[in-house]
Amino acid sequence: MNKLFPFLKPYTTQLIIGPFFKLAEAVLEIFIPTLMAYIIDNGVNKADTGYILKTGLLMLAIATLGVIFAYICQYSASIASQGFGTDVRNALFEKVLSFSHAQVDEFGTASLINRITGDVNQLQSAVAMLIRLVIRAPFLCVGGLVMAMLIDLKLSVIFMVVIPLFVFVTFSIMTKAVPLYKTVQKRLDAIALVLRENLSGVRVIRAFAKAEYERYRFSEANQKYADNAINVGKIAALTNPATSLIMNFAVLAVIWFGGIRINAGNMTQGEIIAYINYIVQILNAMLIVSQLVVLYTKAYASALRVNEILSMDTDISDGAKSTAAAGNSFKIEFKNVSMKYSDSIENALENINFTAKAGEIIGIIGGTGSGKSTLVNLIPRFYDAAEGAVLVDGMDVRDYKLDALRDKIGIVPQRAVLFSGSVADNLRFAKETAKDSELAYAAEVAQAAEFIEKFEQKYDTIITQGGANLSGGQRQRLTIARALVKNPEILILDDSASALDYITDAKLWNALRESNDNRTLIIVSQRVRTVKNADKIIVLEDGRIEGIGTHEELFKNCVQYAEICRSQEEPV
């Protein structure tokens, strides 16, 4: 919770002005029933029209001032709540961007989206209500009670019974509802996860005729959410009827005992009407208080979820250095590197040792799950090694400033990710100042120029979200071109040409070799023909290196590599 309070500081003025004017409105509202009693007792009963008009105009003036004060409060609440929500979302987004891949995996994408959207919306409502009602409602309760006691102290004994009973009911509801609201939010995360998977994988679902199964998955997640929401709704639904029942009995008691006191001459008609108005005023205020209890119960659950993100320190901390010392013989060096994912018992990589010089082409091959992607993800520090060290230019990657390290590296992941915008916008993603000639050269090397030039608007062609208007091969070639525009010292291609046909694949790798100007190129692939001409090939199996060497050396000396070659009918 302590992480959220600083976001309110810029809106201190609104947090003071808003409640002040709302309190002023409540003060004015408190006097209305008393003035009404004066009209009845001194005006109506005495047939004094002048007194009725004079007091009526005073009530009208009070009501007008109340409207003005309420407007000022509402305006302040809007500025503070919307500004608070905007600032928190920005902070959450920035925080999530600083997380390592492991931390993002820990929360889950669906949960992070819900926290940044739904949970922050809940907190916005809480801030708005803090300004608008948190002071007003209790003041009306207390003020109404004081005014009622001034009218008739003995009749006010009713409140001594009602208020403790009301507090007990709302507190009981709150203690049961808070844990359930947390569960509801988790169920909502589960729905978002299923929905996200279905929307992104709709083609696969249809291809495998799994629509019915996915309907069942979504229905199951939705039903669990509904069941939890209904359970918490049943408890929250008790708030209004329980408080209404209590207060209606209080009104009934006031009318009953008030009538007795009027007959005894201890109260006037105007006083009993004012007293009933104060009862209604207190009733409405207490109902608002009960609704605020529900609102802040939800907000508390949301605050815990938001605070969980804000209070988490990224496990990939910035180093202190921007450059390494000159004279290093190796561009990349792995020294006894082992790595384990947080939710795994066994190491994903075990005792990895290899070196790569500037200008070398390194091929990495191995079966599915052998640790290829994990290995290359250690170079830009998407994950950190559990043991050993990864060095770039002779310096441990953990000593680099992250921006400085990643500025040296261009990486093309397995899944081709493009953003909505033009082709040129996507190619300039890593280098905003890139000239058109640089874009054209990168596209030529990546074998993307041939289809870009066929577009009517060429580099100004709009790409829809996720590159949905492009084929898989086109998306992969554009992501490779995007990395080349950056002109990195180290280029990592993580199985990023799997959708290309053999001819285009061959053209791509030939172009990369010809354009490789002292750039260290790391190629992760399932295809032997993609890596066979590399200066050095690393064969991985179950997270361990089974062999390092050229294609010919490994075919003779590495059983695993020879098996892969034979399975793909690749000769020496």
pLDDT digits (tens, 9 = 90+) for 28-63: 887 777 777 777 767 677 677 777 888 788 888 888
The model's pLDDT over 384-443, given as tens digits with 9 standing for 90+, comes to: 888 888 888 888 888 888 888 888 888 888 777 788 888 888 888 878 888 888 888 888
> For residue 178, what pLDDT is reported?
67
Is the pLDDT confidence value at 338 over 70?
Answer: yes
Look at 27 and 199; give whichever has higher pLDDT: 27
> For residue 324, what pLDDT is reported?
66
> For residue 24, what pLDDT is reported?
85
- What are the b/e assignments for 400-427, b being 16+ CB within 10 Å? bebeebbebbbbbbeebebeeeebbbbb
Q: HEC string of 482-526?
A: HHHHCCCCEEEEECCCCCCCHHHHHHHHHHHHHCCCCCEEEEECC
3-state DSSP percent of the chain in helix, strand and coil, to 5: 65, 10, 25
Confidence at 530, pLDDT banded by 50, 70, 90 = confident
Which residues are 333's β-sheet partners? Answer: 355, 391
Mean pLDDT, rounded, for 500-513: 79
- What are the b/e assignments for 538-557, b being 16+ CB within 10 Å? bbbbebbbbbbbebeebbee
Mean pLDDT, rounded, for 264-279: 76
Residues of the chain with pLDDT > 70, as a percent, come to 95
Mean pLDDT, rounded, for 467-471: 76
Confidence at 349, pLDDT banded by 50, 70, 90 = confident
Q: What are phi and psi of 153, to 5 degrees?
A: -70, -40
Residues 6+ apart with CB under 8 A from 91: 7, 310
Q: CATH code for 332-567?
A: 3.40.50.300
State whether residue 428 is helix, strand or coil: coil
Residues 6+ apart with CB under 8 A from 247: 162, 166, 279, 282, 283, 286, 287
Q: What is the pTM of this model?
A: 0.67
Domain ranges of the chain: 5-310, 332-567
Question: What is 5-310's CATH topology?
Answer: ABC transporter transmembrane region fold (1.20.1560)
Q: What is the mean pLDDT of the chain?
A: 80
Q: State the DSSP code for 400.
A: B
> For residue 352, what pLDDT is reported?
85
Mean pLDDT, rounded, for 112-129: 85
Mean pLDDT, rounded, for 262-289: 76
The model's pLDDT over 517-528, given as tens digits with 9 standing for 90+, comes to: 788 888 888 878
479/474 Cα distance (integer angstroms): 9
- With left for phi above 0 and alpha for psi between -120 and 50, is residue 487 left, alpha or beta? left
Which residues are 421's β-sheet partners? Answer: 463
* Total number of residues shown for the chain: 572
Which residues are 536's β-sheet partners? Answer: 362
State whether residue 374 is helix, strand or coil: helix
Strands (E), 401-476: 409-412, 421-422, 462-463
Intrachain domains 5-310 and 332-567 with the same fold: no
> For residue 571, what pLDDT is reported?
59
Element (H, E) at 57: helix 49-98
Is the pLDDT confidence value at 1 over 70?
Answer: no
Is the pLDDT confidence value at 500 over 80?
Answer: no
116/118 Cα distance (integer angstroms): 6
- What are the b/e assignments for 346-360, b being 16+ CB within 10 Å? ebbbbebebbbbeeb
What's the count of helices (H) and strands (E) in the chain, helices before strands? 21, 12
Mean pLDDT, rounded, for 283-309: 80
CA 68 distance to own-chain centroid: 37
Is the pLDDT confidence value at 256 over 60?
Answer: yes
Is the pLDDT confidence value at 572 over 60?
Answer: no
Element (H, E) at 545: strand 544-549
99/316 Cα distance (integer angstroms): 7
Most confident of 195-199, 290-294, 545-549: 545-549
Residues 6+ apart with CB under 8 A from 246: 162, 165, 166, 169
Cβ–Cβ contacts within 10 Å for residue 226, how many?
15
The model's pLDDT over 86-104, given as tens digits with 9 standing for 90+, comes to: 888 898 888 888 887 777 7
Look at 205 and 22; give whichever has higher pLDDT: 22
244/284 Cα distance (integer angstroms): 9
166/277 Cα distance (integer angstroms): 19
Confidence at 504, pLDDT banded by 50, 70, 90 = confident
Half-sphere exposure of 109 (CA within 13 A, CB side): 7
> For residue 408, what pLDDT is reported?
85
Question: Which of 11-15, 77-81, 226-230, 280-284 is the least confident region?
Answer: 280-284
> For residue 259, what pLDDT is reported?
77
Pick the closest to residue 526 from 412, 338, 373, 353 (CA basis): 373
